[in-house]
Structure 1
């Protein structure tokens, strides 16, 4: 667990495919209980819960208790950091695509 109230790095949190799938599932709908999320994976409740803890430490997931059940919702705000990082490098992709397009037009 993260100490001193430090948040986990969002890139670290989304590095795992299971966590990316959890983000996807939470993005599709409303608040979801742990048992519903667990049913989407071939792993136990404890393993899914650990992945959700990592997402929570990165600020990507909020949880709340409803009776004996824990329900989770997505907080997409930290994903802005990922979007900004990718956007910075998109200029390289755009330039390469432009060059490729020019080469293809020259060949015609």
Structure 2
């Protein structure tokens, strides 16, 4: 059964609207898509979880934690070796590596400054 359409004031209804025997053309069905959201609500479902922390933040926190740990081992190497004598060779090698790296960095910066 066709539904009557409202006609704005001051306008005449189109001729086909007056003929109830002629059915209106069916409206096309909405397109179905795989990306369509399911908007049904399940009252027994657990509440949604908080959004996960981004991978960037996790990666940055990991790098900072490793840096702080390496800095602590370098700064407190005497205490660590005194408490863990079996770690002395590895920690001494690490401290000498960092000292050598610092020396090379200082020499490189001095060369750059002297050029200018």
- TM-score band by shorter chain is under 0.3
TM-score (norm 2): 0.24
More helix by share: 1
TM-score (norm 1): 0.25
Larger radius of gyration: 2
